[in-house]
């Protein structure tokens, strides 16, 4: 029996279009709810002629969304928010008409707009008369969508509602569940390798003391956790923290900036990294010499501590011959935050930089944050909010950017 635990707490947008098999979507909605998913049904106007929205509302506990240009619904969860909320979008049944709309990139109703706007995996289960199914335009549209990464589920073959026999039947619900469970275990960052640095570094002065900073590692760990949940392979290069390694993440524990630099360099040499996120608060400097024994007052000369500069880890990554597709830095600033961050982005040749205001004890060690992400094209703000929510939103934006950059490099 297939493991359906991947549905647990997952946000599913179930698109229902105007086909005779729309009634089976009720059973699908119910089955996904039973295995722990949260289901938001989006119907095309045509679908409402086949099944009443009230049925889906009763099954899912959520009002069905139908209209795109609906100010009341937009005031709640807007269409873009809905697209981002989704861990997976599935259209079942998907009509020939909706297939054509999706294949040509039109977004003239809520469902097709959400489809275009979501970074989540997109699935469709076609269902139509066998003669419609065998039309070459339908085949072409499916090939186009499949080529762009959509998961095509079915169809089945057999007796049809119209009495014909042949391919075009909606897959049975247990089959749909199995296929969706397999896709859910992947996520929008599936197949991507992310390296994330987190925490402070400790720069030893003597065997007992070190030069450190106030970073707790919470933001970097939240990023690693969110990336793993979205299906990425994640390597977390972490300075000393009290945090547990997030599920599904490989942690490389280091102490100093030099250790972190070596770890990151060997990761980039060894494998292809799709995205590097430098969220660690790396010490800019270290004591020039580490005393072999504990320094003693009254015995040792404590009048000065000579410091030398540490390597700039993220700059080294951004300028590496095997540069990751996307290099994202962090800038913890106490003044002129945006101007300083923008200058740092350009100077270090980063793609994105996430600025955060750490003045007056904000951020370090706290559960909340607000990130101002600067790119070559502008600025997006994530938060204020809890670090796990901000991490997920940033990672979803990264998932979109990676697929855009990958598509561009293919053309």
Ligand X SMILES: Cc1cc2nc3c(=O)[nH]c(=O)nc-3n(C[C@H](O)[C@H](O)[C@H](O)COP(=O)(O)O)c2cc1C
Residue numbers at the binding site for ligand X (CB under 6 A) = 17-21, 44, 46-47, 95-98, 127-128, 132
Q: Which runs of consecutive H residues, i.e. helices, occur in 61-125? A: 71-75, 79-85, 96-103, 110-117
Q: Cα 244 to chain center, whole Å?
A: 21
- The helix/strand/coil state of 359 is helix
Catalytic one of 26, 123, 162, 410: 162
- The helix/strand/coil state of 169 is strand
* Tokens standing for residue 336: 């002129």
Smallest distance from ligand X to CB 147, Å:
21
Smallest distance from ligand X to CB 88, Å:
20
Based on the residue annotation, tell me whether 373 is a catalytic residue of this protein.
Answer: no
Residue whose CB is less far from ligand X, 98 or 225? 98
Residue whose CB is less far from ligand X, 44 or 369? 44
* Tokens standing for residue 244: 């547990």
Strand partners, 271: none
Q: Which runs of consecutive H residues, i.e. helices, occur in 209-357? A: 218-229, 257-270, 313-318, 337-348
Residue whose CB is less far from ligand X, 128 or 328? 128
**Contact of 151 with 123, CB cutoff 8 Å:** yes
Smallest distance from ligand X to CB 93, Å:
6
Smallest distance from ligand X to CB 50, Å:
7
Helix (H) or strand (E) holding 175: helix 173-184
Residue whose CB is less far from ligand X, 17 or 238? 17
Query: How many other CB atoms are found less than 10 A from the CB of residue 125?
Result: 26
> Which residue numbers are catalytic?
162
């Amino acid at each position: 029996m297939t493991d359906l635990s991947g549905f647990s707490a997952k946000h599913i947008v179930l698109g229902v279009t105007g086909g005779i098999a729309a009634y089976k979507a009720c059973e699908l909605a119910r089955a996904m709810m039973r295995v722990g998913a949260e289901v938001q049904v989006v119907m095309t106007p045509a679908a409402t002629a086949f099944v009443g929205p009230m049925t889906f509302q009763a099954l899912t506990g959520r009002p069905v969304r139908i209209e795109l240009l609906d100010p009341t619904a937009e005031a709640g969860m807007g269409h873009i928010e809905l697209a981002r909320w989704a861990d997976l979008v599935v259209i079942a049944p998907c009509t020939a008409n909706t297939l054509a709309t999706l294949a040509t990139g039109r977004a003239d109703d809520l469902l097709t707009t959400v489809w275009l706007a979501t970074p989540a995996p997109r699935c469709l289960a076609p269902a139509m008369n066998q003669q419609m199914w065998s039309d070459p335009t339908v085949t072409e549209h499916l090939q186009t969508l499949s080529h762009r990464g959509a998961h095509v589920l079915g169809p089945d073959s057999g007796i049809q509602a119209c009495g014909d026999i042949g391919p075009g039947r909606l897959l049975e619900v247990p089959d749909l569940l199995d296929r969706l469970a397999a896709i859910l275990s992947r996520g929008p960052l599936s197949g991507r390798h992310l390296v994330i640095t987190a925490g402070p570094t400790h720069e030893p002065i003597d065997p007992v003391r070190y030069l450190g900073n106030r970073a707790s590692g919470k933001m970097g760990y939240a990023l690693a956790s969110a990336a793993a949940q979205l299906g990425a392979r994640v390597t977390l290069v972490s300075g000393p923290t009290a945090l547990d390694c997030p599920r599904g993440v490989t942690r490389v524990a280091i102490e100093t900036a030099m250790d972190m630099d070596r770890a990151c360099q060997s990761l980039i040499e060894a494998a292809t990294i799709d995205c590097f996120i430098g969220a660690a608060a790396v010490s800019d400097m270290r004591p020039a010499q580490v005393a072999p024994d504990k320094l003693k007052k009254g015995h040792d000369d404590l009048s000065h501590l000579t410091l030398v500069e540490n390597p700039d880890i993220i700059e080294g990554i951004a300028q590496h011959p095997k540069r990751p597709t996307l290099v994202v830095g962090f800038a913890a600033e106490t003044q002129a935050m945006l101007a300083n961050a923008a200058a740092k982005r350009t100077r270090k040749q980063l793609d994105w930089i996430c600025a955060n205001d750490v003045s007056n004890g904000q951020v370090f060690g706290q559960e909340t944050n607000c990130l101002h992400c600067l790119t070559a094209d502008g600025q997006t703000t994530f938060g204020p909010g809890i670090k796990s929510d901000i991490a997920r939103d940033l990672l979803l934006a990264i998932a979109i950017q990676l697929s855009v950059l990958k598509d561009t490099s293919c053309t």
